[in-house]
Amino acid sequence: MAFPGRYGRVRAAAPAVAALLLLSALLPACGRADPGDRSVQRLLDRRAAALLDRDERAFLAETHPSAGRLRARQREVLRNLAEVPLAAWEYELTGTGGFEPAPGEGRRLAVRVRLSYRLSGHDTGPATADQRLTLAERGGRWYIAAEHPAGDGPEPLWEQGRVETVGGSRSLVLGVGHDRRRLRGIARTADRAVPAVDAAWGGDWARRVVVLVPRSPADMAELLGDPPGSYRGIAAVTTGRTGGAPGGPADRVIVNPAAYGILGEAGQDVVLTHETAHVATRAHTSPATPLWLSEGFADWAGYRDTDRPASRIAPELAREVAAGRAPGALPGDEDFSFTGDARRLARAYEAGWLACRMIAEEWGEETLVSFYRAVGEAGPDRSRALETALREQLGLGPAAFTARWRAYAESRLG
């Protein structure tokens, strides 16, 4: 049987990390921020500087004196971040609503803010999160009076509890609700994954990985802005904006502690190598890249150094072949839905892996990498990009490639 929760995916987002998706309707009546309103931005700048300095007094000084509950929560969040190695933390005012009177205290103002931050030694570009705040005026100065839930959007890890941090030689693991021994084990696995992916992919990438380990599967869904239960049985997901250049928005591997925890060491190696492959290939993955290729390559990288027979890596597909139901086509993107049939999902991943394994075996590993890059860089038209890359890199048209893959599946799994 396939590894439980072996599946991962690059979550595409614009303009930032998928785990920190852009919220499209935070304040229905908000307009664009007035560039001349320097007083609000100065408040945000002071707050950011205080957090970077770990200056609790200065950080809380920007919170309205009457907002006792908010001040307590702000103090808690600051302490949750105590171990997180921050290289940068900035707020940008992105939108404002109308002024509302606050009896006896002056005006109130609803604002949208984008937080950008970088982890020291790991992020070449920022991770971002959108926030909603209510500001209150007192004595001619703005204070933060309230924070509001970001609707259906994600929440940062530090909102879920105190963050424990473990640094590996090539990794940084941030966890909530787990002891350091477990986090160190994940860091060791991530440290092995980076050189394994580098051997498979090469190229220009950071050669390091940041892993987030929330307390539970439900908390994982919160980090990704999805409903509880969305990732049951999914061991990990990689977030990042596809098609970005080095220095683009920061990638994160988010681990489902339940599904990942039931895997043995070999399974955990495969999972984190798969996810790290998504980090490495992100800049060369675009809307033109079909999921069978991006997921198949990540699985190929994950299993590249194993000696398991194909029938053990692709058991669902092997059963179909044995029953005389060899697939007639490569899986479509819709077959990779986490919320669909589990066996269909397994077959989709297995089919993509087998296609990439075939290319690596019959044309060579360098050609597989060149083919992946060529598809992602050929333009937005997927069918044209795929056909062009197939003909230029493999010398086959789509129909001939599919027929060859089908025959390969029958010969390896039959």
> Of 270, 285, 300, which residue is a domain's last?
285
Domain hosting 391: range is 288-414
- Pair 125, 185 in one domain: no
CATH number of residue 34's parent domain: 3.10.450.50
Q: pLDDT tens-digit profile of 217-232?
A: 999 999 988 888 888 8
**Rounded CA separation 102/380 (Å):** 50
The answer to whether the pTM exceeds 0.85 is yes
- Pair 231, 294 in one domain: no
- Pair 362, 299 in one domain: yes
Least confident stretch, 164-168, 230-234, 267-271, 311-315: 230-234
> Of 94, 123, 153, which residue is a domain's last?
153
CB 118 within 8 A of CB 144: no
**Rounded CA separation 255/234 (Å):** 9
- Pair 94, 190 in one domain: no
What was the pLDDT predicted at 250?
81
CB 80 within 8 A of CB 163: yes
**Residue 87 host element (H or E):** strand 86-102
The total domain count for the chain is 3
- Pair 178, 141 in one domain: no
Region 120-147: mean pLDDT is 91
- Bridge partners, 212 (sequence order): 174, 254
- The amino acid that residue 140 corresponds to is G
For the chain, percent of residues with pLDDT exceeding 90: 72
- Pair 140, 194 in one domain: no
Phi, psi of 191 (to 5 degrees): -65, -35
Is the predicted pLDDT of residue 189 greater than 90, yes or no?
yes
**Rounded CA separation 326/328 (Å):** 6
Tokens of 106: 């002056």
What was the pLDDT predicted at 4?
37
Is the predicted pLDDT of residue 169 greater than 90, yes or no?
yes
**Residue 76 host element (H or E):** helix 68-80
Is the predicted pLDDT of residue 134 greater than 80, yes or no?
yes
Nearest to 272 by CA among 259, 291, 284: 259
What was the pLDDT predicted at 341?
83
CATH number of residue 241's parent domain: 3.30.2010.30
Question: Which of the pair, 96 or 63, is modelled with greater confidence?
Answer: 63
Q: pLDDT tens-digit profile of 230-269?
A: 888 899 999 876 665 555 568 999 999 999 999 999 999 9
- Pair 56, 4 in one domain: no
**At 110, is the secondary structure helix, strand, or coil?**
strand
Least confident stretch, 47-61, 78-92, 234-248, 306-320: 234-248
Residue 101 pLDDT grade (very low, low, confident, very high; cuts 50, 70, 90): low
Task: Answer whether the bond into residue 380 is a cis peptide, omega within 30°.
Answer: no
Q: pLDDT tens-digit profile of 17-32?
A: 222 222 222 222 333 4
> Of 118, 153, 188, which residue is a domain's last?
153
**Rounded CA separation 310/355 (Å):** 12
